[in-house]
Homo-oligomer: A and B are copies of this chain.
Amino acid sequence: MSSDASSASSGDKSETSSVDIRGLSRTFDGRTVIDDLDLTIAKGEFVALLGHSGCGKSTLLRILAGLDDEISGEVIVPARRSAAFQSPRLMPWLRVWRNVVLGLPGRANRDRALATRYLAEVGIEERAGVWPKTLSGGEAQRVSLARALVREPELLLLDEPFGALDALTRVNAQRLVGELWQRHGCSILLVTHDVEEALLLADRVLVMDAGGIAHEVTVDLPRPRALGSPEFVSLRSRLLGWLGVHDASASETPLERISS
């Protein structure tokens, strides 16, 4: 890994910001995916990131995770980060519970009780002892989420962590993330395709396009938030508009377009 600790680099904003990105660019084989992007995430802030498929969300997360250094620009992130990737990326040769606590320091990486507690949180404690290959799609995604949550980071990077979950499981997982965030005060960057999810959870919602942050909206609704409130509905429709679903009326979900 080519990221080095550098206390000097925590400049003027360091006391309040968790992530500082200045002029970040990333090019794949001549295709610029991230183009001179600036972004600051405050300490303890919950930021949601929306954007079309292929617009560079995962790329941005990988850079913040320190996994991609073929970049230009300046990126400052907390040392203690944790991520749930878009695909579960479980180690197939470790039992589910070992996957959850893998990488925890010291004896904790053998702490089955700890792993089981988090697996219970995502509703699959009874699968703690099996091989990952036997998990269903949603189960694997939940293990991956548990693995990200167990390590109490300062910055939590979540790449569509609820995509493969059914309605009930998803609600529970969202609530779990919300609670952990409030309890530990970490910063969260959540990539999602669900506008309502973004608005329910985040302090700020960003829309990525053309390699940068094209739109940004601060959600200063009080928590817990109600889907039906007029502010919520108008925010949703604004975001959907930015995402290209222009003809969705305030009371419609994007799907309605199918019937138009």
Contacts and interface: CB of A to CB of B under 8 A. Distances in A.
A145 to B, nearest CB: 12
A169 interface: yes
A112 interface: no
- Contact size class for A? 35 or more
A174 B255 contact: yes
B163 A164 contact: yes
A258 B138 CA distance: 20
A259 interface: yes
A259 B136 contact: no
A187 to B, nearest CB: 20
Interface string A163-189: 111111111001100100000000000
Interface in A12-29: 28
Interface stretch (A1-9, A101-109, A211-219, A243-251): A243-251
A200 B54 CA distance: 26
A193 interface: yes
17 contacts: A28-B134, A50-B166, A53-B164, A53-B165, A54-B127, A59-B136, A86-B137, A137-B159, A166-B193, A166-B243, A167-B244, A168-B245, A171-B245, A171-B254, A175-B258, A196-B255, A227-B253
